[in-house]
Amino acid sequence: MMLDNLRGMAVFASVVGHGSFSGAARQLGITTSAVSQQIRSLEKDLGVVLLHRSTRKLSLTEAGASFYESAKDVVTAADQGRIKVNQLRDELAGSLRIATTPELGVNHILPALSTWMSAHDDLSIYFLADNHYIDMIDERADIAIRMSPQIKDSSVATYPLAEVKQMLVASPHYLRQHEKITKPKDLANHQLISIDLMKDPNTLDFSSIETGKKNRVKITSRIQTNNVFLATTLAKEGHGLVRVMSLDVQKELASGELVEVIPEYSLPHFVLYAVTLDREQQPAKITRCLEVLKKHFHAAA
């Protein structure tokens, strides 16, 4: 009922502004009879006559003159609201909420977006940095960065950014102090720093790069955590092996603080995705941000 009244107010304001039903019909793109019906319905809902009708002209009643001022304000407010919505849709303005893990955020997402963020200071950006899965609707996230072999969710649109290698790493100090590892079965004599964010964190499925032969091994854990940064720090301190994504330890591998264990065997790969809610039309701020992310990761590949 409220929506019908708002539509009727817009029609009424147009009739008064044009001084005729036919003029309002042309502006609104509807028939003259439809305009007349809207006015009758509005008068019935309000319980008053708004317009004196004659064959030559229309004139406002006292109630109509008073109501016209309110109708004009409503139409003006609606037009301004539409303009603001269009600006948010088409311009890089408003707020943008990006969900990511702390490690990916610091090491990859911020470097990817830093220059772009500086160039668009009308855009307010909020980073939700958490290792746990977040509900995009509950957290009002515009873009989520997710690592997964694949995403099966019809409510979201996915944009692959990079294939990510999963690897087993340790510090050189740890490897010097413990039995040599040349094949997966040697891991039975070692300790894994377990990250419980992963499914079956203590079970590792290796494939020989040379032969393709698969090996499943289970490693014991004395130390467990729910945080990737803490796990990699423990590994650097020599407390055990850790299974991580290559993107999370690029700096440590480059510096030699961590080294890959049995590189002749591979673990299952993951895909780094940018994820948005599945809509017909995305605001410009989201599409531009996705473009920047894709360009960054494709250049780094």
Q: Which fold has domain 162-268?
A: D-Maltodextrin-Binding Protein; domain 2 (3.40.190)
Residue 67 confidence (pLDDT): 85
pLDDT tens, the chain, 301 aa long: 445 567 888 888 888 888 888 888 888 888 888 888 888 888 888 888 888 887 677 888 888 888 888 888 887 887 777 766 655 555 677 889 999 988 889 888 999 999 999 888 888 999 999 888 888 888 999 999 998 877 878 788 999 999 999 999 999 999 999 999 999 999 988 999 999 877 888 899 999 999 999 999 999 899 999 888 999 999 999 999 999 989 889 899 999 999 999 999 999 998 999 999 988 778 888 999 999 999 988 876 5
Residues of the chain with CATH 1.10.10.10: 1-88
As beta bridge partners, residue 220 has 191
Closest CA relative to residue 24, chosen from 37, 34, 9, 14: 14
Residues of the chain with CATH 3.40.190.290: 162-268
Distances (CA, A) of 93 to 120, 124, 234, 276: 8, 7, 42, 18
Q: Does domain 92-161+270-298 have CATH number 3.40.50.300?
A: no
Domain 1-88 in this protein, CATH class: mainly alpha
Residue 6 confidence (pLDDT): 78
Paired tokens of 253: 């591998």
Residue 1 confidence (pLDDT): 45
State the pTM of this model.
0.62
Distance in angstroms (rounded) separating the CA atoms of residues 223 and 232: 12
C-alpha dihedral, 186 to 197 to 251 to 247, nearest 10°: 100
Q: What is the CA radius of gyration of the chain?
A: 31
Residues of the chain with CATH 3.40.190.10: 92-161+270-298
Residue 127 confidence (pLDDT): 94
Sheet containing 214-218: which strands, arranged edge to edge? 214-218, 203-208, 265-266
